[in-house]
Every structure is written in C-alpha cells, then in structure tokens.
C-alpha cells in the first residue's frame, strides 16, 4: 500500500505535466458565481477553459472540447437543456463529463436536474460535498444552501454508493476527500480549512478534475490526482495568508507554480479497499 | 448620546459574533457583476451565501433562508418575477428582505422594478446610494450608470423620506452612511475612499447588512452595525494597499479576521434625532 | 517616426488623464465570466462602468453612456438582440461602439452573431485576438475555445483586412498588439506573458479601449493608447508576482496608480505604414 501511495503521487505529478503539455480544452456549462474563478483555476491547472451555455452553440463547443463540466450552481431550465445537448455530444465523442451537482438536496429543482442529467448522460465523475452525494445516493443528509452541514454519515460509504448507483466515479470532497468507482477507494488528505471560507473552491476542484480527466482515462486516478494537486495548492496558499482574500489569490499562484517534485513529495493519496 | 454610541459599537461587535456563531443562510437573487464577491463577503461576515434565481427553486430556497437579498444590478424581467416569489415566501416566514435598488433612477426599468418590489413586498431594509434612494423617495438626483453624482441634497432627509414612504429602514451609504427607520437616525463614519474604486462594494455592504439582519430584529441596529463593520474593514484594508486591486483582496481578510475588540473600539456610529 | 512614437506616448498619457478627469460612462453588454473584472478595470482606467443587458433598459442606458462595449463571450440570442438595440442608439448618438468578438471562429453562433452586429451597426473598434479577427476578415485561423492557437498568419495583414472590410479600426492583441484603420498601422509592444495566464485580460483591454475611445475621436490613437497603458500595467504588475493570482490583483493597482510620466516614458507605440 505504501507502494501504491507512492505510485499515485507520482502519477499525479505526471498527469499535471501532461495537462500543461497538451492544454486540453475544458468546456464549462456552469454557474454565474464562479465563472471567472473556475476559468482562472483551469488556466492555472494548465488547461484552457471555455464557458458557453447557449443552446445554439453548446453542441459545437462540446464537439471541440476535451472534457465537459456540468455545474448546477445557478441552474435554470434552459441551461439544463443545454447541458443535455452538450452532454450527448460529449458522450458520442467519448470525452469525460464531470458533474458538479451544487446544492442537490437543497431544492427539488436541483436534485431532479442532477438526477435527470445522470439518467440521460454517461457521466464520468460526480464531484460534490457529502450532502450533495448523499442526496443523490439516496442517503440522509442536511444541506444549508449549498453547504453540507452535520456530516454524521460515512463519506466513504456515500461515495461508494453514489459510484455504484450511477456507474461512475464519485469524488466526495471534505476534510478528507474520497474518490471511488464503487470498488476502488482513494482517500486524499491534502487541503486546508481556509478552502471552506472562499466561495467556489468546490467548483474549482471540479474544473481541475475535468482538466485532469481530459488527459487521463482512469477516472479514479484523474480525480484523486486533481484533488491532491488542488488541495496541496490550498496548503501552500494558506502559508502566511492573513485571511480568505489573500488565500484565494495565492491559491491560483500555488497551483500554477506547482512543480512535479513538490506534488510528488506532498500529495497524500492513500488507497484503500 | 455618548452612551448610546458606546452601546451601538458594542452591539455591532455582539451581532458580528452572533452571525459567526449561527451562520445564517442568506439567499441572494442578485446581479451577475458581483455574485462571487457578495458570496465571498457573506462568508467573511460569518454567514452562508446561496445564489439562486430560477423561478423553479426560489420559493423553496427562500423557505430555507434566514435573510433574502434582492439586488437589481443586472435585472431582467424573469428575475424580477422570481424576486416577487421569493419575497412573498420570505414575508410569510418573517425573515428580513434587504433590497439593493442598483441603478434606480438610471433607467425606467430599474426604477419601476424597485417600486414594484416595494409595493408588493414588505422590505425590511433598502440599502442604496444617494441617487438611488432619492429617486425612490421622489427627490431630485443625478445618477451616472449606477454611480451617484452631484450629491447636492441632504442624505439624512432622503433616508428619512425613503424610510417613511416605504415603512422600512433606509440605509444610505456614502461618505457618511445614514441609517433611518424614518424616526431614529444613525450616522456611520467608518469607511475609506478606496471603497468607491472597487465595483460592488455597495452590493457587498448589502450582503453584510442582510447577514446581520438575519440575527438582529432591530433593522436600524442591524444595518448600522453591518455598515460599521464593513466600513471598518475598508479602513483596515486600505492600510498599505498600493491600489484598488490589493485593497479589494484585503477587504475580505479584514472583515473575516475582525475581532470584537477592534470593532467595539473603532466603530463610529453616532445616533441623532 | 521616432517623433511620431514620442507623440503617441504623450497622447496616450494625455488621454489617460482626460478619462480620469471626465469619468465617461462605459455601458457594457458583456459576458458573465468577466463582468466583475471588466467593471473593475474600467474603474481603474478612470471611467465608470455600467453593466445592463435587459432589452427593457439597454436603449435608455446606451442613451446615457459615452461608449458602448459589446462582448460576445457568453452570448445568447436575446443578448444579441439587446446589443443591436443598444448599438443603434449608440450610433444615433455618435458614441463609439467597441466590439469584442470573443470566440468568433469557435462556433457558428459566435461568428454569425459578430457578423450580424458588424452588418447592422457602425462599430468603431473591433478588439480581438488573431483567430477572431482572421475569422471575421475571412482568413484562415485556428481557435481552441476562445484562445488563438497556431498564429502562422501575419497579424498586421489580418488587422488591415479586418479594418477595411468593416470600415472600422481593428485592434488585434497578441505578443505585439496591432491597431489599424486599414491605412495607418500602430504596433504596441507593451505587455507581459502573464496576461495570457489570467482569463479575461483580452476583455479587460476592450473595456479600457472603450474608456479611451469615449474621450478620443481618433480611434487608432484611442485604441493604441489604451493597449499601451493596459500592457504597461501588465509589465508593472508582473514585477515580483509569484503567479497569475497575484499578477491579476496587481494589474488593477498598476493601471489605477499609473502616472502620466510613467506612461509617457514606457509606452512603446510604433507607427508603421
């Protein structure tokens, strides 16, 4: 297992470099709160972001992309329709779809929209917090707005259940991140509590995950690598940051400037199961 | 009066702590320019933001919230409809609505939408600049885009008129902030001129006001406390900031890291009338 | 020519001061990725931004503005309609329209929307990257999302062709920026590679260009001055920036705090043709 851990940290470093070398295009259909921030973190990951949500162009844009992010943060009906159109094109082309079911559980519209996307599309990775994934898996959860509160359940069980139910990889972020395809389980211990004090860090982790999934076919490895790199960027950004504003700025710097050596040495990915 | 001033600074500090302890959910239906920034400042105030504007979910989201922000910064007709739906739910539940009539006076659509919301909803607090509140109160005002220019009138008179006309609390921000319920008047002298050089600081002050109103029933006290805390954050952020970019980042740090002691000592809230 | 270069740097400095003195209102109908960032850079340029896209108010808002930005970054059909309405009002009033055809060439919807705007409106300045302007000029180009890749063609030829075709000024930004009205050509050598690592710097340059065009009737001089000032801000911001996050923040500081002396000394505008 120590061996596997070493391997995953090395693979994370190798994937980070591959993203930077190939600059995959990550098409986002996403929320209005984090459009700028997720575009910037995608650039910092070494990929190219493009945001496009009009029904008139999403199919064509998804047709040029290397990964597709569907993020429900400020969804409205026409946007969900556009997600389905883009998603079908992504599925036909075989590029990964990463779903961020922001606020699933908070309103029926969000829960049902996430379910509709999961029914009609082959999603590669669902990235969400405990409450969002628990809701989708059919477990009990409490969500306040888009914030998971009262995490009494077992995140690993939720991730496994969610992955098996939707036949995809579940990436459940929290104090420890859990990534599972329903059989294999990886736990990522990188991250910093300041990440919870900046809006959209969850959405950012989704974008980095999509950038990594664009170049790595094993979605468990791609998601675990992305969460390790992003979490480590958070740890580095927190050093000497007097508050969430400065931390937020340093987060971009830290991901953009991360070296393979640093990631290989500090990625804390543990394989279980 | 010296006594009352001391009281209000202490109450501001106490409310700040109460927000942090209870983490109220502030539902925003707001503009696209400041969605990220107002979400982040709400987090820095200690509350939880959620942005949701789809007709399909606003009633349910407002049903889970502890305060509702209605901000007209980039309004469109369906958004105004969603505001009415969410607002009615907020009124039935008795949670405070804070209205930010961005650009009232600049276009008929903005002025009339603000009036429509004020007619059909019980708004707790209107937070705006001189031109916006003067327009709503029926006074003369000049607005350039969303910026109040040529403040020849008396802000206190405008705040009182606006509060009486709409039977709410008016929070008029400017060089000195005025908060009035039409009878009591508080003047807040905190703030810094750099706040006028970053877009959305007015909208941010609205979000902080909503966070404070979520936990404090006296809307004059809530708004005055919020504006003192936010203004003081501006003063702290300005120290050593070489320009508006750095200032903007430090503003989040300053509000998030503010202690009760600092706010109690430096809040400059004067009660008049 | 050395003489002309000196002149243009001096004119850039003079225009920068004129913007600050007159605070023109720049009405933006723009994309959701950069609304906050373009509003802030407009403020840093010394102008006042206003973002408004509802059909119900764009004509009135354009009627109060001193320049109009039409940016296609996240366009949808109703937004294009609103752009036409606002654009006609701008044309009748004689205020400059600056078009940013983000992603022209990436999807038919973007290309055709840009063409429709150019056919139906008198646009003063088109600001875009190589691929966007080449697409509009009818040249070969490769675009990945909204990023120009593989710039094998001649940017000067593209700028001249675009300007002649649409009888406007073309401002083609890249390693060297090219500004041309189809006859005169200015090359601006200011800028820094970090600008390509922050999303929306192209859109920001469009907003600064509009602010300068609001006070300067010669669109070649206005655009060249804006790109020199903005590019120089990038050079200053890059000094000591550990990554794109910090650079982004310093960019606002640098433009806001720029003095006439610094711009006059460091603007690198070369006139050719």
CB–CB of B56 and A109 under 8 A?
Answer: yes
What is the chain B residue with the closest CA to C58?
Answer: B107
* Percentage, residues of chain B above pLDDT 90: 91
Q: Are strands C25-29 and C67-71 parallel, antiparallel or unpaired?
A: parallel
Minimal Cβ distance to B36: which of A36, A106, A146? A36
What is the chain C residue with the closest CA to A79?
Answer: C76
CB–CB of A44 and C244 under 8 A?
Answer: yes
Burial of B270 (0-12, 13-18, 19+ CB in 10 A): middle
At B210 the three-state DSSP class reads helix
Per-residue pLDDT at C120? 98
Per-residue pLDDT at C14? 98
Per-residue pLDDT at A1? 37
Is the separation of the CB atoms in A202 and A127 below 8 Å? yes
Name the minimum distance, in Å, from the CA of B48 to any CA of chain A: 8
CB–CB of B197 and C44 under 8 A?
Answer: yes
pTM of the model: 0.96
Q: Quickly list DSSP for B137-165.
A: HT----EETTEE----S-HHHHHHHHHHH
CA atoms within 13 A on the CB side of A77: 4
Helix axes B35-45, A244-257, angle to 10 degrees: 120
In degrees, rounded to 5, the angle at the alpha carbon of residue A19 between the alpha carbons of residues A16 and A22 is: 150
Q: Which residues of B touch C65 (CB under 8 A)?
A: 145
What is the chain A residue with the closest CA to C37?
Answer: A36
User: Which has the closest alpha carbon to C184: C173, C174, C169?
Assistant: C169
What interface predicted TM-score (ipTM) does this complex get?
0.95
pLDDT in tens, A99-133: 999 999 999 999 999 999 999 999 999 999 999 99
Minimal Cβ distance to B60: which of A74, A108, A199? A108
Name the minimum distance, in Å, from the CA of C146 to any CA of chain A: 6
At A216 the three-state DSSP class reads coil
Phi, psi at residue A67, to the nearest 5°? -160, 155
In degrees, rounded to 5, the angle at the alpha carbon of residue B144 between the alpha carbons of residues B142 and B150 is: 40
CB–CB of B147 and C250 under 8 A?
Answer: no
Name the minimum distance, in Å, from the CA of A265 to any CA of chain B: 30
User: Which has the closest alpha carbon to B232: B184, B199, B269, B272?
Assistant: B269
Name the minimum distance, in Å, from the CA of A244 to any CA of chain B: 6
CB–CB of C36 and A36 under 8 A?
Answer: yes
Query: Residue A5 pLDDT > 80, yes or no?
Result: no
pLDDT in tens, A201-233: 999 999 999 999 999 999 999 999 999 999 999
**Residue C154 has what DSSP assignment?**
-
Per-residue pLDDT at A24? 98
Q: Which residues of C touch A253 (CB under 8 A)?
A: 241-246
Distance CA B196, CA B193 (A): 6
Per-residue pLDDT at A147? 80
Per-residue pLDDT at B273? 59
Report residue B145's pLDDT band, with 50, 70 and 90 as the boundaries: confident
Minimal Cβ distance to A39: which of C33, C106, C249? C33
> B interface mutation test: which of C48, C54, C77 has the most B CBs within 10 A?
C54
Per-residue pLDDT at C249? 98
The least confident of B81-95, B171-185, C145-159 is C145-159
**How many CB pairs lie under 8 A apart between chains A and C?**
98
CB–CB of B33 and C53 under 8 A?
Answer: no
CB atoms within 10 A of CB A246: 22
Per-residue pLDDT at C42? 98
Q: Which residues of B touch A73 (CB under 8 A)?
A: 51
The least confident of A31-45, A150-164, B20-34, C94-108 is A150-164
Q: What's the residue count for chain C?
A: 273
Q: Which residues of B touch C250 (CB under 8 A)?
A: 245-246
Report residue A241's pLDDT band, with 50, 70 and 90 as the boundaries: very high
Q: Which domains does chain A have, with CATH numbers?
A: 2-272 (3.40.1190.20)
CB–CB of A256 and C197 under 8 A?
Answer: yes
Distance CA B82, CA B71 (A): 12
Name the interface residues of B facing A (CB cutoff 8 Å).
Answer: 23, 25, 27, 32, 35-36, 39-40, 43-44, 48-54, 56-57, 60-61, 64-65, 248-254, 256-257
In the numeric block, which tokens belong to residue B32? 């696209």
Report residue A145's pLDDT band, with 50, 70 and 90 as the boundaries: confident
Between the alpha carbon of residue A126 and those of residues A101, A166, A191, B66, the distances in Å are 7, 9, 19, 29
Per-residue pLDDT at B2? 41
Is the separation of the CB atoms in C88 and C246 below 8 Å? no
Per-residue pLDDT at A106? 95
Name the minimum distance, in Å, from the CA of C183 to any CA of chain B: 36
Name the interface residues of A facing C (CB cutoff 8 Å).
Answer: 23, 25, 27, 32, 35-36, 39-40, 43-44, 48-54, 56-57, 60-61, 64-65, 248-254, 256-257
Report residue C3's pLDDT band, with 50, 70 and 90 as the boundaries: very low
Q: Which residues contact residue C195 at a Cβ distance below 8 angstroms, ignoring those fewer than 6 apart?
A: C201, C231, C234, C251
Question: What mean pLDDT do residues A53-66 have?
Answer: 97
Phi, psi at residue C181, to the nearest 5°? -100, 15
What is the chain A residue with the closest CA to B63?
Answer: A107
In the numeric block, which tokens belong to residue C140? 């070969």
Using CB atoms, which chains have 3+ pairs under 8 A with B? A, C
Q: Which residues of A touch B246 (CB under 8 A)?
A: none
In the numeric block, which tokens belong to residue A246? 């400065």
Between the alpha carbon of residue A223 and those of residues A16, A197, C180, C207, the distances in Å are 12, 22, 47, 37
CB–CB of C73 and A60 under 8 A?
Answer: no
> C interface mutation test: which of A22, A27, A50, A69 has the most C CBs within 10 A?
A50
Per-residue pLDDT at C273? 59
At A147 the three-state DSSP class reads strand
Query: Residue A2 pLDDT > 50, yes or no?
Result: no
Name the minimum distance, in Å, from the CA of B182 to any CA of chain C: 31
pLDDT in tens, B90-109: 999 999 999 999 999 999 99
Report residue C197's pLDDT band, with 50, 70 and 90 as the boundaries: very high
Distance CA B40, CA A33 (A): 10
**Torsion sign (Cα): B32, A74, B234, B164:** positive
Name the minimum distance, in Å, from the CA of A183 to any CA of chain C: 36
Distance CA C207, CA A122 (A): 40
Query: Residue A140 pLDDT > 80, yes or no?
Result: no
Q: Which residues of C touch A257 (CB under 8 A)?
A: 242-243
Q: Which residues contact residue B213 at a Cβ distance below 8 angstroms, ignoring those fewer than 6 apart?
A: B67, B96, B98, B124, B125, B219, B222, B223, B226
Query: Residue B5 pLDDT > 60, yes or no?
Result: no
In degrees, rounded to 5, the angle at the alpha carbon of residue C164 between the alpha carbons of residues C158 and C167 is: 130
Phi, psi at residue A129, to the nearest 5°? -90, 180
What is the chain B residue with the closest CA to C35?
Answer: B33
Report residue C2's pLDDT band, with 50, 70 and 90 as the boundaries: very low
pLDDT in tens, C6-39: 589 999 999 999 999 999 999 999 999 999 999 9
Q: In the predicted model, what is the mean pLDDT of chain A? A: 95
Distance CA A159, CA A105 (A): 16
Report residue C104's pLDDT band, with 50, 70 and 90 as the boundaries: very high
């Amino acid at each position: 297992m120590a061996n596997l851990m070493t391997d995953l940290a090395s693979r994370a470093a190798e994937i980070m470099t591959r993203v930077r070398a190939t600059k995959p295009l990550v098409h986002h259909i996403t929320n209005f709160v984090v459009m700028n921030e997720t575009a910037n973190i995608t650039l910092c990951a070494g990929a190219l972001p493009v945001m496009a949500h009009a029904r008139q162009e999403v199919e064509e844009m998804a047709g040029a992309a290397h990964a597709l992010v569907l993020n429900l943060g400020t969804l409205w009906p026409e946007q969900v329709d556009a997600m389905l159109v883009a998603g079908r094109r992504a599925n036909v082309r075989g590029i990964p779809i990463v779903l961020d079911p922001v606020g699933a559980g908070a309103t029926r519209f969000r829960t049902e929209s996430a379910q509709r996307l999961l029914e009609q599309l082959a999603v590669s990775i669902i990235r969400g917090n405990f409450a969002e994934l628990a809701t989708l898996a059919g477990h009990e959860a409490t969500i306040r707005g888009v914030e998971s509160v009262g995490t009494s359940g077992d995140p690993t069980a939720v991730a496994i259940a969610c992955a098996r139910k939707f036949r995809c990889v579940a990436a459940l972020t929290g104090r420890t991140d859990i990534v599972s395809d329903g059989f294999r389980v990886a736990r990522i211990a990188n991250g910093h509590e300041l990440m919870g004090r900046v809006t959209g860090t969850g959405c950012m982790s989704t974008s980095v995950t999509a950038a990594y999934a664009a170049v790595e076919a094993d979605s468990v490895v791609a998601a675990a690598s992305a969460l390790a790199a992003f979490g480590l960027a958070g740890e580095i950004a927190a050093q000497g940051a007097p508050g969430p504003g400065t931390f937020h700025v340093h987060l971009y710097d830290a991901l953009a400037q991360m070296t393979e050596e640093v990631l290989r040495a500090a990625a804390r990915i543990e394989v279980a199961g």
